Amino acid sequence: MALVNRRWASTIPIILVVAALVIGLIGSAFAVPASLPSPRPDVISIGRPDLTAPPAPTPLGRYPTGAEATVVGSCVSGIDPKTVPSQIAQSFCVCTLNAFEQLYPTYDQFQQAVASGAITDALRTQISNRCVQAIVGG
């Protein structure tokens, strides 16, 4: 009888360790995930120039100045200033305009491409990806 009690006493620590591991596993499976912080503008850049943005590029100048300003202005107005600082949005839009100016050297060619549907979503995405890479690097 004494031998049976010793065996049982020696298995208690092992049982306790296994039970603790099982409880820990179950607890981690039902743990509430940490909440992500809500998106908010960068407090440092509010009211101050964004020093991390690249210098503002200039359009290639192949299209009339008014047309370039309209294209860039409509692009910038389509970007949420709460998520993208204005200097970066401006850089992105000028980069996009410059890509179109390289593809369609005259404004008439650009307008014809827009009207004909030659500027597809795939082309826009390709240009956007290149511009993002040029701005943020990579």
Written as six digits, the tokens of 4 are: 């049976």
Q: Of 82, 110, 78, 109, which Cα lies nearest the Cα of 92?
A: 78
Percent of the chain whose pLDDT exceeds 90: 41
What pLDDT shows up at residue 109? 94
Percent of the chain whose pLDDT exceeds 70: 59
Beta carbons of 107 and 64 less than 8 angstroms apart: yes
Kindly state the DSSP code that residue 94 receives in the 8-state scheme. Answer: H
Q: Are residues 81 and 130 both part of a single domain?
A: yes
42-82: per-residue pLDDT in tens?
444 444 455 454 455 778 888 999 999 999 999 999 999 99
Whether 85 is in a domain gets the answer yes
Whether 62 is in a domain gets the answer yes
Question: Could you tell me the pTM of the whole model?
Answer: 0.58
Distance of alpha carbon 115 from alpha carbon 113, whole angstroms: 5
Distance of alpha carbon 82 from alpha carbon 45, whole angstroms: 11
80-91: per-residue pLDDT in tens?
999 989 888 999
Number of structural domains (the chain) is 2
